[in-house]
Chains A and B, each alone.
Chain A
Amino acid sequence: MTDVSVSSRTTSESPLTERQWVRRGELLEAARRVFERDGYHGTTVSAVVQAAGLSQGAFYLYFADKKAVFAALQEETATLLRRRIYWGTRDEADARRRLEAGLKTYFEFYEEYAGLIRRLTIEGLGIDESFEARQTELHQTLATAFEPTLRELGVRATAVAAFALLGLAAQVAYWQHFQRKDEPSMSAAALARACASLFLEGAASIPTPLPQEGGTHA
């Protein structure tokens, strides 16, 4: 798989200077805002450079096209999520609490990056096979990370269960953030406990009402 995470520049080119690194960062941040606002298909390179306050020429120094900057954001988001779940669960000895910690980390991450994750998961899959491959790689990594915990909890078909768990978490996170956005939000910890309970003991085991945080989404 082509690594587009560093930049679209080829390795034979001279290394980026600090100023160029800043500009690349400005373009990434601007692209993130525009993609969140307009979606992948509604975003243009012109809108990104305008949001970054840079010239069109500057954009093409760092990224080949719109797809390349979207791919860089996809890679960046996946890396952050992988790191966060790894460190968020690593030191939890109890399997049940480790499962809840992993889910809580996922829900917290989703809340922080909801706008971008929505674009990546809904529109990203339809762009081309390389986007789908990177998304699949992320899901595989996360599923593999959850599998030992599920095994420890007595789950037998761990691969099926891990992917089902990810699907459950993704749908609940989307529902929480986008579908019930005018209602008080539930805490990541409460959602994690509910999902773990549903997953391990069945839907009838989810305690109600779930604790709410009292505020609504920004």
Chain B
Amino acid sequence: MPEAKEVFAEIENRIKSHPEKSAGLNATYQFDLSGESWTLKIANGAPELIQGPAQSPNTTLIATTDDWMNIATGKLNPVTAFMQQKLKVKGDMGLAMKLQGLLQ
């Protein structure tokens, strides 16, 4: 199982390698995992990964580290995780779905 840091770095790389998908997007995502927070800030399509919470996130995704890692590595379907309340989303749900699109 990779570490959370590797998974978030891969998310950042994926967004960078497909700039057409995030073009014009401005959003701050906060990920609250078990005892750690990560922030993915996308400014005009450009991603920046920060370890720690955001000042004013648009969308906060909350999950245990294990569940988040399973979602990120394809072992857990995010829709199923959301239905089973393994993944909770606060704030702008539209941006949460946009993130799902960015990571495809």
5 A/B residue pairs, CB under 8 Å, sorted by A: A20-B93, A21-B96, A78-B104, A79-B103, A80-B74
B interface residues, tally (CB under 8 Å): 22
> Does B44 reach chain A (CB closer than 8 Å)?
no
> Does B26 reach chain A (CB closer than 8 Å)?
no
The residue in A15, A78, A81, A82 that gathers the most chain B C-beta atoms within 10 A of its C-beta is: A15
From B77, B89, B94, A80 is in contact (CB under 8 Å) with B77
Q: Write out the residue numbers on chain A whose beta carbons fall within 8 Å of the beta carbon of B82.
A: 21-22, 25
Q: A80-B74, A81-B74 are in contact. Are A15 and B79 (CB under 8 A)?
A: no
B83 touches A22 (CB 8 A): yes
From A6, A7, A25, A85, B83 is in contact (CB under 8 Å) with A25
Nearest-neighbor residue (CB-CB) of B95 within chain A? A15
- Complex alpha-carbon distance, A90 and B74, angstroms: 13
Interface size class of A (residues with CB under 8 A): 20 to 34
- Complex alpha-carbon distance, A145 and B79, angstroms: 26
B73-96 toward A: CB 8 Å interface, digit per residue (1/0)?
A: 111010110110000010011111
B93 touches A17 (CB 8 A): yes
Q: Write out the residue numbers on chain A whose beta carbons fall within 8 Å of the beta carbon of B73.
A: 83-84, 86-88
- Complex alpha-carbon distance, A26 and B89, angstroms: 16
Lowest 9 CB-CB distances: which A-B pairs, in order? A15-B94, A83-B74, A84-B74, A87-B73, A80-B74, A25-B79, A79-B104, A25-B83, A16-B93
